[in-house]
Amino acid sequence: MKRLLSVLLAVAALPLFGADPAAKGTEYTATVSGIVCASCKAHVTEALKKLPGVTAVEVTKGAEANTQKVTFAAQADNLTKQDAVNALGESASQYQVLSLEKTAK
């Protein structure tokens, strides 16, 4: 818990140390299962906004049954699937991140 708090505080401080808020960042696409209603969508969206520089998250129907495509831009260019799982916290068992990839530009 202390580590998570430290990471969140560090992320919150990024704009204070020269991060350009106008920069678009790196685009990511995740495949997530378990999003079955508007409340689920909101929960996942808010969780992923904990990642460095993420302000907007879009959730759409996934390519495979029972999955959703989640797209977002982040200031960090090296996010991993595990970072997304960590952002979900205790809800990671309900909403499973099946993949996370940088989106080709």
pTM, rounded to two decimals: 0.73
User: Look-up: residue for tokens 């970072």?
Assistant: 83
Where do the domains of the chain lie?
A: 2-102
CATH number of 2-102: 3.30.70.100
Considering only CA atoms, which of 45, 13, 52 is closest in space to residue 30?
Answer: 45
- Residue 63 neighbours by CB distance under 10 Å: 8
The mean of the pLDDT values for the chain is 83
Q: What is the pLDDT of residues 31-85, one digit of tens each?
A: 999 999 999 999 999 999 999 999 899 999 999 999 999 999 999 889 999 999 9
User: Look-up: residue for tokens 């350009």?
Assistant: 20
